[in-house]
Structures are given as C-alpha cells and as structure tokens.
C-alpha cells in the first residue's frame, strides 16, 4: 500500500474522532489458505500477521520451555490447551507492532479462546473491532492440499507451495528467497484428518460467536487473488458501516 493511501486511511478514521484498529480473525480448517491469504492481507492492509501455529513451531524448534510443553499436542494434531494458547496470544498482542491492529491466523480456535480475545480487547484496546473471515473448503480438497503442502524453511519468508497446484520452479527450492522447502511434521494424512475433525467440532460455536456480532464473512477461496480482493471489499464495507454509526 502506498504511503499516501495509508495516510489517507488514517486521516479518514481520525476525522471520526477515534482511530479504530482492526483485529481480523481468520477462521478455517487446516489447508483452507488462512496462512497464505492472511499474509497477503497483512501486507496490503499494513497489519501485523500473527499465526499461533508459527509461534508454536518456532518455540518447538528453539526447544524453549513452552516448546517442550506443546510439542506432543502439535505432533499428534491435537489442540494446544486453551490456557497456554490464550497466555501466548495475550503476550503477543501487547507488543508494539500490534498497536494498529492485527491479522490473527489460527486463533481463536475454540469458543473459550474467542471469549478470551473479546475480553482482552475490551480491557486493553478500547477502539479495537473484531471481524472474522471464514474460509470454507470441502474436506476432500483440504486433505489433497495439506498432504501436498511445502513451506519455505526461511522464517522471514515462509512462502507456501503445493506439489500439485503450485509447485516451485526448482524442486525443493523457494522461488522467492532460494530457501529450502520442507514439509511440516503434522502435514500427513492421519494428522490432517484429526485436525480437520477437531476443527469441525469447534467451528460451529466459533462461527456462531462472530455471526451474532454481525462480524462474519464466509467465502470459498478457490483463487487466492480473488479471495483477497473479496475480503478487502468486505472489510471496506464493514468499516464504512462502523463509521456511519
């Protein structure tokens, strides 16, 4: 986004007397494109991208106390316990780069986490608005996407590829940064089936939670660019709605 547009957006919101910050929650089963779409949105909207999965994988690879605690949950495809996740996210949300809002990718994942986020924002960020984007993809396509997924191991890049639908130009090498492409430990058929079942179990409550607030947008993201464009249009309308009362 150009600096002019950024300033224009800020002034527009400041005319309303308050600077509204957006916390955009990406809801969707594994492999629906939360990460891919979330990263693009974070760049286009100049919002910090926070992925609980990435935070946890980083903790595991650095063998921290937290990493040791959560390793077995992640490897088996189970959810990390709510209290651990909530504490981790709260700490992250208080960091300086989150002042202007964030894209939350993979959090909340349970009704309890959604409630915790709501209360945290109410207490700590009075001008924050929460809005959820639900990415809806059929199960058979999800499994196909996840078992073929490859991720750039260079942490500052993290580009996502797919052996079938989006292969890199050179096998095993990231097109963007030349980093080595790897498969995630939990991206196998057995684990993804479990992650998917857990998602389906929790998603109804989560979706209802945001629907009640009139802050839910559901799309079937066939094409990443089209999905990003649609979501941005929805967010513009949503912001307009806020500013008109």
Q: List interacting residues with Zn ion (CB under 5 A).
A: 152, 154, 157, 159, 174, 176-177, 179
SS3 130: strand
Active-site choice (57, 109, 145, 239): 109
User: Is residue 144 annotated as a catalytic residue, yes or no?
Assistant: no
User: Is residue 92 annotated as a catalytic residue, yes or no?
Assistant: no
**Which listed option, Zn ion, ligand ADP, none, makes contact with residue 157 (CB within 5 to 8 Å by class)?**
Zn ion
User: Is residue 109 annotated as a catalytic residue, yes or no?
Assistant: yes
Q: Which is nearer to ligand ADP, 151 or 239 (CB)?
A: 151
Contacts with ligand ADP by CB under 6 A lie at 30-31, 34, 52-53, 56, 73-74, 77-80, 85, 106-107, 109, 113, 195
**Long-range Cβ contacts of 113-122 (<8 Å, 24+ apart):** 113/82, 113/85, 113/86, 113/89, 114/205, 114/206, 114/209, 114/210, 115/209, 116/82, 116/86, 116/90, 117/23, 117/25, 117/89, 120/90, 120/93, 121/23
Backbone phi, psi, residue 155, to 5°: -60, -35
**Which listed option, ligand ADP, Zn ion, none, makes contact with residue 74 (CB within 5 to 8 Å by class)?**
ligand ADP
User: Is residue 62 annotated as a catalytic residue, yes or no?
Assistant: no
Active-site choice (125, 183, 184, 232): 184
Q: What is d(CA 79, CA 99) in angstroms, rounded to the nearest whole number?
A: 28
From the CB of 8, what's the least distance to ligand ADP, in Å?
A: 33
Q: What is d(CA 6, CA 100) in angstroms, rounded to the nearest whole number?
A: 12
The size of the chain, in residues, is 245
Taking each helix axis from N to C end, the angle separating 34-45 and 224-243, rounded to the nearest 10 degrees, works out to 50
Q: Which is nearer to Zn ion, 80 or 159 (CB)?
A: 159
From the CB of 89, what's the least distance to ligand ADP, in Å?
A: 8
User: Is residue 195 annotated as a catalytic residue, yes or no?
Assistant: yes
**Which listed option, ligand ADP, Zn ion, none, makes contact with residue 109 (CB within 5 to 8 Å by class)?**
ligand ADP
181 beta partners: 152
Residues annotated as catalytic (active site), given as ranges? 34, 109, 149, 184, 195
């Amino acid at each position: 986004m150009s600096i002019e547009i950024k300033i224009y957006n800020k002034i527009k919101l400041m005319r309303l007397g308050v600077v509204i910050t957006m916390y955009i929650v990406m809801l969707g089963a594994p492999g629906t494109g939360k990460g891919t779409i979330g990263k693009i949105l974070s760049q286009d909207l100049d919002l910090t991208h926070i992925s609980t999965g990435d935070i946890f994988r980083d903790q595991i690879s650095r063998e921290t106390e937290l990493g040791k605690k959560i390793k077995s949950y992640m490897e088996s495809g189970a959810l990390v316990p709510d209290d651990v996740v909530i504490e981790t996210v709260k700490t992250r949300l208080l960091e300086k780069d989150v002042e202007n809002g964030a894209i939350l990718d993979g959090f909340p994942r349970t009704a309890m986490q959604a409630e915790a986020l709501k209360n945290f924002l109410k207490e700590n960020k009075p001008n924050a608005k929460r809005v959820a984007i639900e990415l809806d993809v059929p199960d058979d396509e999800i499994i196909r996407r996840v078992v073929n997924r490859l991720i750039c191991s260079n942490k500052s890049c993290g580009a996502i590829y797919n052996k079938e639908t989006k292969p890199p130009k050179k096998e095993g090498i990231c097109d963007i940064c030349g980093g080595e492409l790897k498969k995630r430990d939990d991206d196998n058929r057995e684990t993804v089936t479990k992650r998917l079942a857990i998602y389906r179990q929790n998603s109804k409550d989560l979706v209802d939670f945001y629907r009640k607030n009139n802050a839910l947008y559901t799309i079937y993201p066939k094409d990443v660019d089209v999905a990003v464009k649609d979501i941005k249009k929805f967010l513009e309308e949503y912001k307009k709605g806020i500013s008109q009362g």
